[in-house]
Amino acid sequence: MNSVLLEARKLTKRFGGVIALKSVSLTIHRGEIYGLIGPNGAGKTTFFNVITGLYACDEGEVWLAGERLDLSRPHRVAAAGIARTFQNVRLFANMTALENVMVGRHAKGRAGVISAILRTRGERGEEAAMRAKAMELLRYVGIERRAYDLAGHLSYGDQRRLEIARALALEPKLLALDEPAAGMNATETEALRQLIEGLNRDGLTVLLIEHDMRFVMGLCHRIAVLDYGEKIAEGAPAEISRDARVIEAYLGQGAACP
Amino acid sequence: MDILLQQLINGLTTGSVYAIVALGYTMVYGVIQLINFAHGEIVMIGAMVAVSVILALTDTALPPAFILLTGVLAAMPVCMIIGLALERLAYRPLRKAPRLAPLITAIGMSIILQHVALMIWGRDPRAFPQLIENASLAVGGAAISTVQIAIIATSCVMMAGLSWFVYRTRFGIAMRATAENLAIAELMGIDTNRVIAATFAVGAALGAVAGVMVGAYYGVAHYTMGFILGLKAFSAAVLGGIGNLPGAMLGGLVLGLVEALGTGYIGELTDLCHWPFVAEALAERCHADGHVVLLGSNYQDVFAFLVLVLVLIFRPSGLLGERVAERA
Amino acid sequence: MRQLRWPYWLGVLLVAATLLLLPFALSAIGTAWVRITNLAILFVFLALGLNIVVGMAGLLDLGYVAFYAVGAYTWALLASPHFDVHWPAWAILPLGAALACVAGVLLGAPTLRLRGDYLAIVTLGFGEIVRIFLNNLSAPFNITNGPKGITRIDGLSLAGIQFNASETFLGIPFTAPIKYYYVLLILLLVILIINLRLADSRIGRAWVAIREDEIAAKACGIDTRNVKLLAFAMGASFGGIAGGMFAAIQGFVSPESFVLNESIMILAMVVLGGMGNVWGVIAGAMLLSFVPELLRYTVEPIQRALFGRMLIEPEVLRMLIFGAALVLTMRFRPAGLWPEKRHKQEMSVAS
Ligand SMILES: Nc1ncnc2c1ncn2[C@@H]1O[C@H](COP(=O)(O)OP(=O)(O)OP(=O)(O)O)[C@@H](O)[C@H]1O
Ligand SMILES: [Mg+2]
């Protein structure tokens, strides 16, 4: 089997005058934890939005596991196997944690209106399986105690976990996390790292945006650096931290953060 | 009579009224992204107040122009107060609420205003006294009335005045800054609450004048007149590009013309006696009546809606609006 | 779930008995009240239909009454002397629901991509357009009979029972409204079950997800366009059924019954009751159906006693109440009087 999972080819995205992505290409292999870093406004989130079909890109294409994605239909992209979280958590606040995860599993189900009205045997089976799977995922990320609380009432750290559980419900080929550690304290960050490592050990490919350098360098197998919408470097963590252009991009931005 | 020219004149007249009302929608939308459903009712109340004042003064010996002006000047502050009250009491508390909330409130306020007007002015249409002698001038093969000239002229003056206000005064700059980015305008020291309130007030004042113009043009004012007028003016605002002032003006005029031409020609176009095949099937009726009109001028109110839907489907940003992406 | 104890069944029994005996108690007060109750139940159908669209999926539909009109005119045209056709109820009622459904899809397909506020305006316009057509489709070919409306519409007749006629059964007099009441009660039960099941299903969750965060819903693999269309279609079909029953019960329809104010009324019921919560919406519909009627009987005498004349007509007061219900609910209790509580229902299943 081909080891390439995701291939982005020459993605370009403009917002009026701003070029948020400038012909960005990158390749992610199966089983990798792939980091995407760069200064604020570099275009990392835009990259996520483009590969998940939420933003229409101006040029370029995305291939997942050998098939070209139809970027005009975000739900197809999700069903094809890219699940994501959002930089500023986007949960269904007035639904319970469990329901959030069950919604995440939507694409795996088939029950429609008629079977729901008739409560057919198939529909009941599917619901039960969905519920069980959702419960299992909540347990996996460690928040099964909060299963019946509204998502909006969870603590920030739990919301981030819930968002990951919701993404996992899709049983994706690629899990894309947008700054999952942002706003977390040291313990939470450590737990998150273990969670991601565990998922990866089970064979999941992870794409990760993160500003916390220690976190990224310790976790990722390979890293790409974006600056002003351009990919300026790609490689193993050790190479990246030595790369002159990367250092310049960060230092040029203000040397305060190491 | 030259139907085309006549309809163009009529369209220009209603179009300028739509433009003035559309400005009210678009200005408010520009600053707080809210469709102020109740704006149509403000226009209606403007017409009603003006009618009452004018009726009260008709029997005096005052010159007609003075009476009319008094009517307008009475309607404006009333509408402005209602506009301000709407903003302060209904919309402001909901600025951070989910997007459906202010919209639903706006509909509620619209219903309330309509029925309060019903209580004050009654169920029957109020005749708008004829103050200006309605002479008509021959233009080409058509006629233009003094009322039409007055409406078009007033609208032009108001649009010019508004443009000056928005593009040349300090307050206008503050308003445009707020429309661009409310949070940043606030950081720059602009009192955005005041700007928003003022936007409502200016929009309502324009609406008041528009109400008087509609009343004078059709000769009646009625408590339900604000609804359809509001819907049309909103369509005009969307047609021009919502949030865009020149767009609202252009959209109003275009919509007025489309409606006038559509209404003028739809009867002829859908006269089945002119259609091949169908006419033969209907030969008997065509012979007896001369026409079998499928859609007559009573479908006038449909055009604005059609324009609205077509614009939203094919060019949601409108004629002059910019495309803005939704943030993910 | 399985071991429900006797207090539960006793409760069910009491409610059932009350509902069954209600029309007789009401006719003791005045026959009008049974009719009012029937109309209130129709409004519950409408409110439940609109609840799917506005409450669950979060799509503000201001022209919902158009679907009610489609159902009513379907019945009126296919079971009246107007065209001299008299189709049976089992054919027209589903047809009316299906046509309303189609109308819902036709309206939804081009407009559902629009932002929420645009959708509101377009549906508002749509409702108005349907009314204009109903008013004008009397020439050159008389389809709707224009503003005069259609009269002498057939009542419901099922299994040999004429619901328009009074009859005595086991010595008990059953008037037409009482007979209709029982039909409506059964329909209500069916519609209620459908709504409860949908609310707690894969599609129902997708509706709520779209309401809560459309972008996140897309990222979860929900085909938001289709799922929204489904909401429109489902909601519309309830409107169609309510419309059909309305035509049968009233025996008369005209465009007057399908004006914007009706849409606003239904919206107010959903909003006041609690968007998304089936029980809340039912309560809201009942409340806003009965309160204006109670006022109708009290406001006039009170005003005459106090001021010696009528200051506010009951009709006007009714609309003021609906307007105020919308404004005040949004301001002080945006989730409605009986808010949607998604976690409670789960708790009972889990424990
Ligand atoms: N919807 C949008 N409309 C207009 N401009 C946008 C939009 N989304 C992003 N941008 C612009 O594109 C550029 C890249 O933004 P993006 O959010 O991708 O950066 P980022 O790398 O994720 O930054 P951060 O680390 O701050 O999250 C920025 O200049 C931003 O202002
Ligand atoms: Mg970002």
Q: Tens digits of per-residue pLDDT, C91-119?
A: 999 999 999 999 999 988 888 888 778 88
**Cβ–Cβ of B94/C331 closer than 8 Å?**
yes
pLDDT 10s digits, A172-194: 999 999 999 988 888 889 999 99
Residue C348 has pLDDT above 60, yes or no: no
Ramachandran area for residue A9 (φ above 0: left; ψ -120 to 50: alpha; else beta): beta
pLDDT per position as a tens digit, B71-122: 999 999 999 999 999 999 999 999 888 888 999 999 999 999 999 999 999 9
A41 Cα: distance to centroid of ligand 1 (angstroms): 5
- Return the amino acid letter for C324: A
- Measure the CA–CA gap between A144 and A123, rounded to whole angstroms: 24
Considering Cα of A62, then A68, then A74, then A79, what sign does the dihedral take?
A: negative
Q: What residues does each domain of chain A span?
A: 4-81+172-256
Tell me what pLDDT residue C269 has.
95
pLDDT band at C172; cut points 50, 70, 90: confident
Q: Do C342 and A150 touch (CB under 8 A)?
A: yes
Among A14, A15, A84, A225, say which to mutate for ligand 1: greatest number of ligand atoms within 8 Å of CB. A15
Separation CA C279–CA A54 (nearest Å): 36
pLDDT of residue B301: 86
Q: Is C249 on the interface with B (CB under 8 A)?
A: no
Span A7-18, mean pLDDT?
91
Residue A255: predicted pLDDT: 47
User: Which residues of chain B neighbour A86 with C-beta distances below 8 Å?
Assistant: 328
Task: Please name which ligand lies nearest the alpha carbon of A37.
Answer: 1
**Phi-psi label, residue B128: left if phi above 0, alpha if psi -120 to 50, beta otherwise:** beta
Architecture of domain A4-81+172-256: 3-Layer(aba) Sandwich (3.40)
Instruction: Give the tens place of pLDDT for each residue, C270-294.
Output: 999 999 999 999 999 999 999 888 8
Query: What's the Cα-to-Cα distance from B233 to each of A90, B227, B237, rounded to whole Å?
Result: 36, 10, 6
For C120, the enclosing helix (H) or strand (E) is helix C116-136
Of B93, B108, B116, the CB nearest to C326: B108
* Shortest Cα distance, chain A CAs vs residue B5, angstroms: 42
Q: Which of the pair, B134 or C49, is modelled with greater confidence?
A: C49
Residues shown for chain C: 351
Helix axis angle, B146-168 relative to B245-269, nearest 10°?
150
- Residue C2, pLDDT score: 55
Contact C112, C232 (CB under 8 A): yes
* pLDDT (0 to 100) of residue C8: 83
State ipTM.
0.92
> For all residues of chain C together, what is the average pLDDT?
88
By the CB < 8 Å criterion, does B112 face chain C?
yes
- Check if the beta carbon of residue B318 is closer than 8 Å to that of residue B240: yes
Q: Please state, in angstroms and rounded to a whole number, the distance separating the CA atoms of residues C321 and A137.
A: 48
- Give the number of residues written for chain A: 258
Residue of chain C minimizing CA distance to A108:
C221
Instruction: Please tell me the least confidently modeled range out of B285-289, B323-327, C280-284.
Output: B323-327
pTM of full prediction above 0.80: yes
Residue C138 has pLDDT above 80, yes or no: yes
**Tell me, what's the pLDDT at C167?**
74
Flag whether pLDDT at C130 surpasses 70.
yes
Cα torsion B278, B284, B288, B289 to 10°: value is -20
Average pLDDT over residues A225-241: 90
Contact C113, C107 (CB under 8 A): no
Measured in degrees and rounded to the nearest 5, phi and psi for residue C13 equal -60, -45
Chain A residues touching C275 at Cβ < 8 A = none
Q: What is the mean pLDDT of chain A?
A: 91
**Residue nearest (by alpha carbon) to ligand 1 atom 28:** A41
**Rounded mean pLDDT, B46-56:** 94
CB contacts, 8 Å: C111 with chain B: 309, 312-313
Q: Domain-by-domain residue ranges, chain B?
A: 2-266
CB contact burial A228-239 (16+ within 10 A = b; e otherwise): bbbbbbbeebee
**Architecture label for domain C2-350:** Orthogonal Bundle (1.10)
- Candidates B235, B307, B309, B313, partner chain C, best to mutate (most C CBs within 10 A): B309
In this predicted model, which residue has the larger pLDDT, C134 or B313? C134
Q: What integer pLDDT is reported at residue C38 of this predicted model?
A: 93
Helix (H) or strand (E) holding A252: helix A244-252
For residues C177-205, give the mean pLDDT.
Answer: 93
pLDDT > 80? residue B280: no
Among A227-241, B202-216, C81-95, top mean pLDDT goes to: B202-216
- Comparing C-alpha atoms, which of A90, B103, A154, B28 is closest to residue C58? B103
**Alpha carbons A249 and A241: distance in angstroms, whole number:** 12
Q: What pLDDT sits at residue B325?
A: 45
The number of the ligand nearest the C-alpha atom of A17 reads 1
Domain B2-266, CATH 1.10.3470 — does that match? yes
What are the φ/ψ torsions at residue B62 (nearest 5 degrees)?
A: -65, 150
Q: Is C199 on the interface with A (CB under 8 A)?
A: no
Task: Quote the minimal CA–CA distance from B135 to chain C in Å.
Answer: 33
CB contact under 8 A, A49 and B325: no
Which residue has the CA at smallest separation from atom 24 of ligand 1? A40
- Identify the nearest ligand to the CA of A43 by its number: 1
- Residue C271 has a pLDDT of 94
Reference A34, options A44, A42, A43; nearest CA is A44
What ligand has the least distance to the C-alpha of B323? Answer: 1
The two structure tokens encoding residue C294: 């109670």
Q: How many CB atoms lie within 10 A of CB C339?
A: 16
Give the pLDDT confidence score for residue B1 in this predicted structure: 67
CA B179 to chain centre: 21
Q: What is the pLDDT of residue B209?
A: 96
B129: helix, strand or coil = coil
Express each pLDDT in C317-347 by its tens digit: 889 999 999 999 999 998 888 887 764 444 4
Determine contact, residues C22/C184, Cβ cutoff 8 Å. Answer: no
Nearest neighbour of C327 by CB, restricted to B105, B235, B299: B105
Residue A253: pLDDT over 60: no
Rama region for A235: left / alpha / beta (φ>0; ψ in -120 to 50; rest) = left
Q: Does the CB of B187 have a partner CB in chain A at under 8 Å?
A: no
Q: Which of A62-76, B255-269, C189-203 has the lowest mean pLDDT?
A: B255-269
Instruction: Give the residue among C85, C236, C84, C252 at the shortest CA–CA distance from C164.
Output: C252
Distance A171 CA to ligand 2 centre (A): 24
What residues of chain B, 199 to 258, have a C-beta less than 8 Å from chain C? 227-228, 231, 234-235, 238
The answer to whether residue A237 scores a pLDDT higher than 60 is yes
Residue in C118, C215, C266, C310 to test binding to B, most B beta-carbons within 10 Å: C118
Residue with tokens 């029950």: A111
> What percent of chain B shows pLDDT beyond 90?
57
Q: What is the DSSP letter of B318?
A: T
Q: How confident is the model at residue C4 (pLDDT cuts 50, 70, 90)?
A: low
Asked if A15's CB is within 8 angstroms of B328's CB, the reply is no
Chain B nearest CA to A124, separation (Å): 34
Query: Backbone phi, then psi, for A42, in 5-degree steps?
Result: -75, -20
pLDDT value of residue C278? 94
* Residue B328 predicted with pLDDT over 70: no
pLDDT at C350: 37
H helical segments located in chain B? 3-32, 39-58, 64-85, 100-121, 146-168, 170-180, 182-187, 192-218, 225-240, 245-269, 278-281, 283-289, 300-314
User: How confident is the model at residue B44, as a pLDDT?
Assistant: 97
- The pLDDT assigned to C323 comes to 94
From CA B52, how far away is CA B303, in angstroms rounded?
A: 32
Is C306:C248 a contact under the CB 8 Å cutoff? no
CA distance B15 to B253: 4
C104 three-state secondary structure: helix
Please report how the helices B39-58 and B225-240 are oriented relative to each other, as an axis angle in degrees rounded to 10. 130
pLDDT higher than threshold 60 for residue C169:
yes
Q: Identify the three-state secondary structure at position B321.
A: coil
Q: Which residues line ligand 1 (CB under 6 A)?
A: A 15, 18, 20, 38, 40-46, 87; B 325, 327
Look at residue C310 and give its three-state secondary structure: coil
- The pLDDT score that the predictor gives to residue C349 is 40
Q: Which of B322, B305, B251 is nearest to B24 (CA)?
A: B251
> With pLDDT > 70 as the criterion, what percentage of chain C qualifies?
96
The pLDDT tens digits for A43-99 are 999 999 999 999 998 999 999 998 999 999 999 999 999 999 999 999 999 999 999
- Which among C206, C230, C234 has CB closest to A106? C206
Q: Work out the average pLDDT over A189-206.
A: 93
pLDDT per residue as tens digits for the range A117-176: 999 999 999 999 999 999 999 999 999 999 999 999 999 989 999 999 999 999 999 999
Residues B146-163 pLDDT 10s: 889 999 999 999 999 999
Q: What is the CB neighbour count within 10 angstroms for residue B152?
A: 18
Region A237-244 average pLDDT: 85
Contact yes or no for C326 and B299 at CB 8 A: no
Tell which atom from ligand 1 comes closest to the C-alpha of A49.
18
Atom nearest to A13 CA in ligand 1: 12
